[in-house]
Amino acid sequence: MTKEFYVIKGFEAATAISGRLRRLEPGDVAKCDTGQTGSILTIDADSSLFLVDRSTFKTCCKVMHQSAAGI
């Protein structure tokens, strides 16, 4: 299930294709499929795909609609 998350602490994520880094800042919104497994997550921010470490994402993002468990 894809959920929207608020960035609450800034972090860097790498674009899925080129590896270019992008800094996501507090207030940004990222979408993530909560069914992903593994230590690296693919997220969607501003209609672009990025790769980020699961622990970083869990620390830096908060689910927008807390109706079920997050990542």
Q: What is the CATH number of the domain that holds 41?
A: 2.30.30.40
Domain range enclosing 49? 2-63
Assess if residue 53 is contained within a domain: yes
Residue 68: band (very low, low, confident or very high) from pLDDT cuts 50, 70, 90? low
* C-alpha separations of 48 from 12, 15, 63 in Å: 14, 7, 19
Would you say 29 and 35 are in contact if contact means Cβ atoms under 8 Å apart?
no
Assess if residue 7 is contained within a domain: yes
Assess if residue 70 is contained within a domain: no
Assess if residue 68 is contained within a domain: no
pTM: 0.87
Number of domains in the chain: 1
Residue 47, φ and ψ in degrees, nearest 5:
60, 25
Assess if residue 32 is contained within a domain: yes
Q: Using a pLDDT cut of 90, give the percent of the chain over it.
A: 86
